[in-house]
Amino acid sequence: MKKLVQIILFQIVLISSVSGQQWTPDLGNGNFKNPIIYADYSDPDMIKVGDDFYMVASSFNCMPGIPVLHSKDMVNWEIINHVYQSLPLEKYDKTAHGQGAWAPSIRYHNNKFYVYFCTPYDGLFMATTNDPKNDWELTHVVDTEMWEDPCPLWDDNGNAYLVRSKLCGNDLILHKMSKDGKKLLDNGVLIYRDIENDPVIEGPKFFKKDGYYYILAPAGGVGEGWQTALRSKNIYGPYERKTVLHTGNTKINGPHQGGLVDLESGESWFAHFQELKPNGRIVHLNKVNWVDGWPLMGEDINNDGIGEPQTEYKMPNVGKKHPIKTPQTTDEFNAKKFGLQWQWQANPRNEWYSISGKGNIRLNAVQNITKEGNLYYAPNLLLQKFPGPDFVATTKVSFRGDLVGDKGGLVIMGRSWTSLYVTKNETGFKLEMSKSDSNKCDGIAEVIESIALDSDVVYLRVKIVGNTTGQYEYSLDNKNFKAIGDEFRTKEGVWIGAKVGLFCVNPNMQQSKGFTDFDWFRVE
C-alpha cells in the first residue's frame, strides 16, 4: 500500500430488497397512487400559474433552503430551484438542527412569485422573483420569536393581509400588510381560537373564493391531526369551522397541511403531508369536492361527513398527459454545480468542496473537532432525502488522506446515524463502520467494525429496506459482498426525515490537506 498518495476507489450501493426502482406515483394507466412524493417535502404548499404547478416545502436547517418543485399535472414533480442558498444569520453557519425555515407559503401576485416563511427564533422572511427558476430576493421582514407558518392574501379590494400561527399556541393572527408585501402595518388581531375543536392549530393557508375568506389549517398535532377549514364573509371573522380531512378508517395518519388549487376542468385538488418516520413528511394528493361551500377532501369512506385520504385515483384532468418525472436523486457531477437534491447541514462555504464540471465532486477534509469529529455537528455533510421506502444508489469514490483521522465516505444521518468510510491511521488505511446517537451525552461515534485495507479497490454497499432497516457490506471485486458492522435502524432527524449522503472530515486541531473525490452518485 502506498503511503499518503494511495488512492482507494470504492463503490457505495444502496440496494432495495424489492425492485431497485424509485417510487413512481404515476401508474401510467391514467391513475396515480399516493404518496405522490415518497420523500420528506414537509409542510407543502402548492399553487397553479397558467399551466404550471409550483410547490415549496420546509427545509429547516438544511441549505440551500426551501426547495421549489415544478409539475404539469400535480403528480410528476421535479426540483427546479431553492428560495435561498443560505440564511443571512451567523447562527446558521453551524448546525442548528430543527431551526431554519418552517412551513413556507407560495403565492403569485402581479406577475411576481412570493414565498413567506418564519424561523422559530428569527422572525418573518419574504422572498420574491419573477421566475421561480432564477434568483429570489430575500427580505427579513420582522425580527421576532415564536412566530410560525405565515401566508399572505392580496384581497380584491386592493388591501394586503398576512395570517400566521404561533409556536406552541392555538391562535391564528391576522395582520394588515403593505401592498408590496414587505411590511406589516399593525400588531395583528386574533381571528381564531378554538382549543376544544382545534388544539395546536397552525400552518394556515389563506385564499378567497365565491365571496368567502377561507383558511385551511391543520390542527391536532403533526402525527395524529386533521385538516380544518375556516370560512367567513368578513376577513376578521367570525369564522365557521369544519373538519374536512382526517384519518378515518384509513391507515394514513395525520393527513393535513398543504395547498389547494382549482383547475379549468372544474376539479379541485389538495396536496398535503403524512408524517411517516423515519422518511419524514411525505406528500399526498387528494381530490376536493365542494359541498355546501366546504372543501371536502378525499373520499368519505365511513359516511361521517369528513373526507379520508385516497390511496389511488384518476389523474387530475389538466387537459393532456405529461411525462413521468420524480424529484432528482442521481448526480453524475458533470456540471459545475451539484444537483438540486443535495443540501448541507448549515450555511455552505466554498472551501468545503470543488466541482469542475468534468465528472466529479471533491469534498475536502474540513476540520470538525466538535466532540472528536461527531458527524451530527458537522455542517459540511452533503445529504439528500430518502427517495422512498426502498432505494438503490451507487457512488464511485477516491479517498486521499493527509492526517491520521481523516475520513471520507457514506453517511445515513438522523437523530441516530451510521457511517461507512475509509480513514487514515498510522500505518495506512482502514475501512470502518460506526454509529452514534444524538441522545448520548458525549455523542462520540462508536466504531462497530474495522478492517485493514490491502487493496487499492474496495466496494461498499448499504441496504435500506422498508425505510427503517440498513446493513452495510463491502467487497473487493464488486461481486462477493460481506456484511460489515451491525444491522441498524434508521431514524428521523429534528423535524426532518433521515437522509443519505457523502462526507469528508478531519477531527484534528491541525488543518488537513486530505480530500475525497466522488465521481458520481446514482439512484435507480
Distance between CA atoms of 119 and 38, rounded to whole angstroms? 25
Helix (H, G, I), strand (E, B) or coil at 304: coil
223 close to 282: Cβ distance less than 8 angstroms: no
**Closest among 134, 118, 126, 215 to 172, alpha carbons compared:** 215
**Closest among 523, 522, 520, 524 to 358, alpha carbons compared:** 520
Helix (DSSP H) and strand (DSSP E) numbers for the chain: 0, 38
End-to-end CA distance of the chain: 34
Q: Is 202 a catalytic residue?
A: yes
Distance between CA atoms of 380 and 399, rounded to whole angstroms? 17
Cell of 242: 369544519
Q: Is 210 a catalytic residue?
A: no
242 close to 295: Cβ distance less than 8 angstroms: no
Chain centroid to CA 470: how far?
A: 21
Q: Which residues are within 8 A (CB) of 437 and not within 5 positions of it... i.e. 6 or more apart?
A: 415, 416, 417, 443
200 close to 220: Cβ distance less than 8 angstroms: yes
| From 40, 43, 198, 402, active-site residue | 43
245 close to 255: Cβ distance less than 8 angstroms: yes
| From 26, 45, 149, 202, active-site residue | 202
Distance between CA atoms of 238 and 438, rounded to whole angstroms? 45
Give, in order, the Cα–Cα distances in Å from 47 to each of 40, 345, 402, 450: 19, 28, 50, 50
**Closest among 91, 108, 120, 96 to 56, alpha carbons compared:** 108
Distance between CA atoms of 84 and 101, rounded to whole angstroms? 10
Supply the residues annotated as catalytic: 43, 202
